[in-house]
Amino acid sequence: MLSLDPLGLEWPCSLGSKDLEEEEGPWGGGSGPPPPGYFPGSWRQDVGLDCKGCPEGAEARAWTVYYYSLLQSCLQQAGLPETQDRSQVPRTGNMLLCLSPAWLTKVPAPGQPGEAALLVSKAVSFHPGGLTFLDDFVPPRRATYFLAGLRPGSGWGREAAELARDLTCPTGATAELARLLEDRLLTRQLLAQQGGVAVPATLAFTYKPPALLQGGEASPGLRLVELSGKEGQETLVKEEVGAFLHSEALGDALQVAIKLSSWRWRGRQALRLRPRAEVGMVADTVLALLEKLEEEESVVVEAVCLPARMPFPGSPPPGPELAVRICAVVCRTQGDRPLLSKVVCAVGRGDRPLRHQNSLPRTLEVALAQCGLGEAAQVAVVRRSVKAAAEAALAAVLALEAGLSAEQRGGRQACTDFLGEYGWPGDRGWGPESETRRRPALSPRPPPGPGVDFALTVAGGALTPVALELNGGLCLEACGVIEGLWAAPRAGLAAEEAAAAAPLVETMLRRSARCLMEGKQLLVVGGGGFSKKFVWEAARDYGLKLHLVESDPNHFASQLVQTFIHFDVTEHRKDEENARLLAELVRARGLQLDGCFSYWDDCLVLTALLCQELGLPCSPPAAMRLAKQKSRTQLHLLCRQGPPWPSPSLHAVPCCSLESEADVERAVRQVPLPGVMKLEFGAGAVGVRLVEDAPQCHEHFSRIVRDLQGEADHPGIGLGWGNAMLLMEFVEGTEHDVDLVVFGGQLLAAFVSDNGPTRLPGFTETAACMPTGLAPEQEAQLVQAAFRCCLGCGLLDGVFNVELKLTRAGPRLIEINPRMGGFYLRDWILELYGVDLLLAAAMVACRLRPALPAHARARGHLVGVMCLVSQHLQVLSSTASQEALQALHDGGLLRFNVFLSLEEALVPSEYEEPYCNVACAGSSPAEARLRLLGLCQGLGIDGPHYPVAHFLSHFK
C-alpha cells in the first residue's frame, strides 16, 4: 500500500488557476521537500531506506524518510516497538507497506498482453504482536494485491496511478475509478438511481457531460441541464436557478451551496454559500463559475440540509449547538456484498467546519448522547439507517463498476473494495462547508478510498441520512485513532478493540489468495456425488486447473476438468499399489501438478499415498488411516496422555472394534452401556444406532452384516472399506462440529456449529446453528479439543471436520473426518465468515499457507433443518419441491442445500441420509430460529412426526 498524502501540512490552493498539475504542490509528495524534524521521538536514523538498483534523488529520499518517521511516530504512540532493519536477512510477511515508488517495479506479464506484474524490492512488513521489519527482497517479491493512495495529478500521485494501472494482481483502487467516484454529480446520480439513497435537491449545469451521466434524471430533486456552450447562457441559467430555488424539492433549506464538480476540482476550491432567497446572487455565482468549466465538468447548486435538532432531556446546555461527523467503513466482502464494518464520530461546534483532526473521535453512542440523543432505541435506529445507506452506497458503486470495461476501471483486476466517510451537519449547513478545506491528520493510514458524506436530517418525522458526495476520506484513520484509545490494557473492552479495517484486510487477503491460485494445477482423487457439484463451479470461478481421477467413466465432472483419468479407486486393499500406478499415469501424461487433494471419504488414504509418491504436500498416510478407522482413532488417542497437557486422551471415548459375533460379546463386557454402534468407515450417520443392552447389540450387528455388505448396497458411505463395526460408550451432551484449517501443524482457523437433538435410536442429524451459541470458554474448549485430536493422530496439513459432544466433563470426540466438512458446512462458513474451505484445502495442497482471520467474526446467524424423504416425500413433491425451495433461495428468503437426488434418497428409512437442508438467516439466533420455524410450518416440513420446534430447542 502506497500512502501519498503529505500528512499534517497545509498549502494554499486558489480557485482561479486551472493548471492543477502546477498547482498540486506537495499533494503528490514530489513538489518541494517535507519539513525537517516534524515528528518528535527517538528511533534509529541509520536504517537502509535506499532500494538497490533504484536510487532516489535528494527530494524523493527526503519524502521516504518523512514517511518512515511518520510510521515510527505512530508505532511509538501506540506503545509498539520500532521497525527493525533486517534488510540483509529478509523474511516474508503478508502485509507490505512501500514508502516510496522506487521500492516497486512493473514488468510485462508473460502471456498477458497489456498487463504487468508488480514486484516489490523493499518494504516494511507487519507481523503479529505489533512487530514491523524493514526488508529487502532479492529477487523481488510478486505482489498479489495492490492498494495505492491515489491523487490525480503530478508527483507521486501520478506514479501511484501508473503503478496501479493494468496489473495482473487484484487492485483496490486506480486513478480511473478515483476520478469517477470524485465527480459529485455522477456519484449523486448513481446513489439516487441505483442505490435508492437520499441525496440533497440538486441543480447541475454541465458542459458536454460524460456518457455515464446520460440516462435521465435520478429523482425529482436532481435536475441536469446540459449546456451547448459556456457563454451566452444568462437567460437559461436565471430561469433554471429561479425555478429550482422556488421548488418544493428544497424543503426547508435556507441556503444553497454552489461549486464546481469534477475530479479535477476535488479539494481545490472554496465553495460558495448563498441564501436561498437571493436568486440573482445565486445565478451570478453560477455564471461566474461557468467560465471555468471544461468538458465533462459541471456547476452544481445544492440545498444545504438543515441540521437535525436533538431532544435534550430537560433544558439544552448553554453554549453553541454541537455538530457531529459520523464516519463509517463499509467494505466489499465475499460475493461482492457490502458490509458496514465500524462507525466512529467526531463532535465539535456547529457554527464552524468540523474536521477529523480538530476533534477527538468517539463512538456513535457517545457522540449522539453529547448532542442530546441518548435513548438506546433511538441510537439503534440511527445506526441502522447509517448502515443501510452506507451499504447501499457501496452496492451502487459496485453495480456501476460491473458495467465498466477493463480500460474504464484501470485494469481487468481493478475494483473498489471500501468506502469510508460520513458526516452529519450541525448549525449553518455543516455538510457542504466540510469541503472548504480538509487538512490531513498526523498518522499514516491506508490510502484514501472514496468516502461518503451524509447529512443527518429530519424527513417524514424520522432521522434520515442524506448522501452529499463520495470523496477521499479519513475514516479508517479516525477508526484507527479510536482503536488506539484502548492500547492500554483494560477489562471489558472487547467490542472497542475490533479493528475497523478487518473486513477490508479479509477482502485483500481473499483477492490475493485467488490471484495466487489462478492457474494452479491440482489432481483431485474421487469426484464425489451429487452434494459436491459446487466444487466444479468454484474451481472455474477461481481459475483452478483440475485433473480428476474417478472410477465412474460417466461421472458428470469428467467433462468439466482439464484431464480425466478413469481408474478404479474402490478397492482399498490395493491402495498402496494403486498409488504407485496412478503416479506412473500422472508422469506418463506429463502433468505438472502443484498439488493433489480429495474431499471424498473413500479416497483420503489413497490420496495421501499418491502425494507421497509424487512428492506433494499432504498429511502422512498413517495419519489418514488412523482418522479413517473410527475405533483406531479413539484407541490411539486414549494412549496419548501427554505431555503436553491437556492431552488428547481427555477427549477420547472407550470403544471396541467389531468384526464378528464373538467381538460383540467381548465388547459388551468392556464398553459401558448404553452405547453407540456404527460402521468403522461409515459416513452420513448411516447405520448408527443407540443400543441399551447386549441383545440389541447382537441384533443390530446382524442387521448391518445382512443389509450393508458392500458398496452396491449403499454407495458413498464407505462400504468399499468393508462393513466392520464398532461399539463405543454413549456420552450425554450437546453435539457440535468444528471445522479446522491446519497448516504445518499450526491452527489457522476454526469454525464451530451447534447441532440439534438427533432422532434416536438412530443419529440422523436434524438441525444446526452457526455460529455457536456456546459461551466463549466452551467454544475455545471445543476448538482446542478438535485441534489436539487432529495433531494426536498426525494430521498436520489440511482442512478437517471434527465431530464432538460437549459434556459436563468437557468435550468428547465422536469422530474425525480428515477432509472438508460435508452437507451445508462449506456453504455456511463461506456465507457467514467469507472463508472458503474448498479454496483453503486447495491452497494447503499447493503448499501455500492460507491467510485467514484467526478470530473471524460471523456476519449474522444461520439456523437450518434437515429434510428426509421418509418424513417429507409428499411436501418435497409439492409445496417444498426442489424448484420451490430453489426459488425461495434465489429470492433470499432461505438457504437451500441439496445433498442427494430424489432417486438416491429413496432407501429404507433405517439407512437413509438427509435429502436437503433449509436454513434461515437472522441478526440473532432467535430471529433466525423463528423465521425457520414459520417457514417450515408454511411449507409443511414441520409436523407431528417431525417436530421442528423440538429440533431447534437447543438453540434458545
Q: Is the pLDDT of residue 472 over 80?
A: no
Where do you find CATH 3.30.1490.20 in the chain? Answer: 655-730
Distances 133 to 49, 84, 276, 488 between C-alpha atoms, Å: 12, 5, 57, 23
Burial letters 176-214, b for 16+ CB under 10 A, else e:
bbbbbbbbbbbbbbbbbbbbebbbbbbbbbbbebbebbe
Q: Which grid cell sits at 690?
A: 443407540
Distance CA 756, CA 689 (A): 17
Confidence of residue 350 (pLDDT cuts 50, 70, 90): low
- Provide the 10 A C-beta neighbour count for residue 519: 12
Per-residue pLDDT at 419: 78
Q: Is the pLDDT of residue 232 over 70?
A: yes
Each residue of 26-37: pLDDT tens digit?
A: 333 445 788 776
Least confident range of 31-45, 75-89, 440-454, 703-717: 440-454
Confidence of residue 657 (pLDDT cuts 50, 70, 90): very high
* CATH class of segment(s) 619-653+731-857: alpha beta
Please say whether the beta carbons of 502 and 856 come within 8 A.
no
H-only helix segments in 834-916: 837-845, 869-876, 882-890, 902-905
Mean of the pLDDT values across residues 451-476? 71
What's the whole-number average pLDDT of the chain?
83
Per-residue pLDDT at 426: 33
Q: Is the pLDDT of residue 392 over 70?
A: yes
Q: Which residues contact 611 (CB under 8 A, 6 or more apart)?
A: 596, 617, 618
Mean of the pLDDT values across residues 268-276? 78
Q: Is the pLDDT of residue 908 over 70?
A: no
The hierarchical CATH code for the domain 172-192+307-421+447-478 is 3.30.470
Each residue of 763-791: pLDDT tens digit?
A: 888 999 999 999 999 999 999 999 999 99
Per-residue pLDDT at 90: 66
Each residue of 527-552: pLDDT tens digit?
A: 988 888 899 999 999 999 999 999 99
Residues 409, 410, 411, 414, CA torsion sign: negative
Per-residue pLDDT at 218: 53
Confidence of residue 475 (pLDDT cuts 50, 70, 90): low
Per-residue pLDDT at 87: 73
Per-residue pLDDT at 518: 94
Per-residue pLDDT at 22: 31
Per-residue pLDDT at 15: 29
Confidence of residue 19 (pLDDT cuts 50, 70, 90): very low
> Could you give the maximum distance between any two Cα atoms of the chain, in Å?
106
Domain 655-730 has CATH 3.90.550.10: no
Each residue of 560-603: pLDDT tens digit?
A: 999 999 999 888 889 999 999 999 999 999 999 999 999 988 89
Confidence of residue 739 (pLDDT cuts 50, 70, 90): very high
Q: Which grid cell sits at 936?
A: 417450515
Please say whether the beta carbons of 391 and 330 come within 8 A.
yes
Distance CA 253, CA 255 (A): 6
Q: Is the pLDDT of residue 607 over 90?
A: yes
The whole-angstrom distance between residue 443's C-alpha and the CA centroid of its chain comes to 26
Q: Which grid cell sits at 557?
A: 465432472
Candidates 3.90.420.10, 1.20.120.140, 3.40.50.20, 1.20.120.1200; CATH matching 521-618: 3.40.50.20
Each residue of 408-439: pLDDT tens digit?
A: 999 999 999 887 543 333 332 333 333 333 32
Distances 303 to 197, 249, 323 between C-alpha atoms, Å: 16, 9, 18
Per-residue pLDDT at 926: 95
Per-residue pLDDT at 820: 94
Strand ranges for 68-130 from DSSP E: 84-85, 95-97, 104-108, 116-127
